[in-house]
Amino acid sequence: MNIGQEILKNLKEEITESEYNRYIKKLVYDVKKSTADEAIYYAPNALVVNWIKNKYAEKIAHLFEVQTHQKVNIKITLKNGVDTQVKTKKVVEVKQGNSLLNPSHSFSNFMVGGSNQFAHAAVKSISEKPGILYNPLFIYGGVGLGKTHLMQAAGNVYQNEGKIVIYTTVEQFLNDFIRHVRNKTMERFQKKYRECDVLLIDDIQFLSNKEGIQEEFFHTFEALKGAGKQIILTADKHPKKIGGLEKRLQSRFEHGLVADIQPPELETKIAIIEKKCEINKVVLSKEIVNYIATVIESNVREIEGILSKLHAYSQLMHIDIDLEFTKNVLKDQMAEKRENLTMDTITKVVAKDLNIKPSEICSKGRSKNIVYARRIAIYICRELTQNTMPQLAQYFGMKDHTAISHTIKKINDLIKDDEDFRVKIEELSNKITTASS
Ligand code: ADP
Ligand code: MG
């Protein structure tokens, strides 16, 4: 046996048998090309390459060092040395940029629980009686809670009945508007939006402070409503809370029915995961489904990311998905999400949003608005980065970790009691994650 294989045998002692059989056994040591300070292994595919690099390369290097008393660089590569980046395909891709509806956004694929029961019932009823019951229907709630899905579920029903459905985001609506203004074809724009049977507009909060488009939107709205055509709108918050909206629009939005969606309870999350598995033909044990449901807080979109990763890995590596494997993938997913995020970025975004200086957040300043900003920044750092409480205490100039845990508890209480505050924190977190990616 050559040294390369021997090292792998030693590694077997340190990891579980299933891990060994899955990944390590597949490695082939290149006796010819390896040198005293570089060990070269070949893996069967790019996924194994990445997996080994992330999880085992360090251990292998350590074992080499113990054996040879020399630092050895471990190179894991494909036989032909091609790109080793792992690329996972999204299981579900929502078509954006045109008014196509995603056919998998159906009522039968939508799991109902206490958190979304009201919104679901409202959408369901208007899908049966468009334009009569609630017009407009306004759905609001946090990110990834199923607003777009629900709205499109109604859209799919209408479309199957042969109705002309337009689904668009405010952004697309605005771009379309600008294009028609530029081409001097406004009549076509107006005709398009006023002659449809159903208008679905997603993410209405982006109308905020855009006067020109609000004016145009108002007339579209009036024309459709006057003709008894159903309008469905979504936003991340209640119409009252969307700043920078013309009064007349705000009152129109509230005129029909306003329904909220809350984060799903554990049971609903489990049902959603099971449904997504069924749709995407992923087989997971009950134990794994429960595990994912407890780890993912609320954003259902994250669940899909995890399932698609699990699916891709298991397919490419020809293995069944077990709990250990799932934990690893989830750990990777969380790390990936947070990798680029620093406390500096978070502090900067929070400071800018609350109109103070970043340095004030980290200062000993005790004025009310500084303390408020500091608490928020600490909370978000705790949520989105891997810094420990003592590290946070040091960065924010707090006494010790108990001061940090005290702050976090305060913010958690506020989030529970105050809807506005929850929205604020969510918005900031979104801003931060987009700023860092
Ligand atoms: P939002 O528009 O509220 O940000 P989406 O409608 O885009 O969220 O939902 C994000 C993902 O989660 C979608 O793939 C959607 O199918 C899924 N999802 C959300 N809620 C549910 C649910 N109750 N049942 C099934 N899938 C859901
Ligand atoms: Mg959406």
- Tell me the per-residue pLDDT of 218-271, one tens digit each, with 9 for 90 and over: 999 999 999 999 999 999 999 999 989 999 999 999 999 999 999 899 999 999
The reported pLDDT for the residue numbered 231 is: 97
The token duo for 218 is 């108002």
Per-residue model confidence (pLDDT) at position 93 = 32
The predicted structure's pLDDT at residue 90: 35
The ligand minimizing its distance to the Cα of 205 is 2
92 lines ligand 1 (CB under 6 A): yes
Ligand minimally distant from the alpha carbon of residue 146: 1
Tokens of 119: 């919104």
Are the CB atoms for 229 and 199 separated by under 8 Å? yes
Range name among 1-10, 73-82, 242-251 with the lowest pLDDT average: 73-82
Q: Is the pLDDT of residue 414 over 70?
A: yes
Best residue for ligand 1 mutational test, from 93, 149, 289 (most atoms within 8 Å of Cβ): 149
CA 234–ligand 1 middle distance (angstroms)? 13
Residue nearest to ligand 1 atom 5, measured at CA:
146
pLDDT of residue 84: 42
**Is the pLDDT reported for residue 379 higher than 80?**
yes
What's the pTM value of the predicted model, to 2 decimals?
A: 0.64
The ligand placed nearest to the CA atom of residue 143 is 1
From atom 27 of ligand 1, which residue's Cα is the shortest distance away? 146
- pLDDT value of position 408: 94
Segment 285-296 shows an average pLDDT of: 90
* Eight-state DSSP code of residue 385: S
Amino acid residing at 267: E
Ligand 2 centroid, distance to 149 Cα (angstroms): 7
Q: What is the pLDDT of residue 338?
A: 67
- Ligand 1 in contact with 149 (CB < 6 A)? yes
Classify strands 165-169 and 28-29 as parallel, antiparallel or unpaired: unpaired
Task: Please give the distance, rounded to the nearest whole angstrom, from the Cα atom of residue 190 to the centre of ligand 1.
Answer: 31
The minimum-distance atom of ligand 1 relative to the CA of 113 is: 23
Report the share of the chain in percent with pLDDT over 90. Answer: 53
More confident residue, 275 or 316: 275
| Type of residue found at 412 | N
Residue 226, phi then psi, degrees to nearest 5: -60, -30
Kindly give the distance from the C-alpha atom of residue 243 to the centroid of ligand 2, in angstroms, as a whole number: 19
| 8 in contact with ligand 1, CB cutoff 6 A | no
- Closest residue by Cα to residue 25 from 38, 42, 8: 8
Range name among 1-5, 289-293, 317-321 with the lowest pLDDT average: 317-321
pLDDT of residue 324: 86
Q: How does pLDDT run across 47-58, given as a tens digit for each residue? A: 778 788 888 888
Highest-confidence segment of 126-135, 290-299, 308-317: 126-135
Atom 4 in ligand 1: which residue has the minimum CA distance? 144
Most confident range (mean pLDDT) of 20-24, 157-161, 298-302 is 157-161
- Give the number of the atom of ligand 1 that is nearest the alpha carbon of residue 92: 14
**pLDDT confidence of 153, banded at 50, 70, 90?**
very high
Which contacts (CB < 8 Å, 24+ apart) does range 171-179 have?
A: 171/203, 171/206, 172/96, 172/97, 172/99, 173/201, 173/213, 173/217, 174/206, 174/210, 174/213, 177/212, 177/213, 177/216
Tell me if 275 CB under 6 Å of ligand 1.
yes
Residues 6+ apart with CB under 8 A from 430: 143
If you measure from the C-alpha of residue 310 to the centroid of ligand 1, how many angstroms do you get, rounded to a whole number?
19
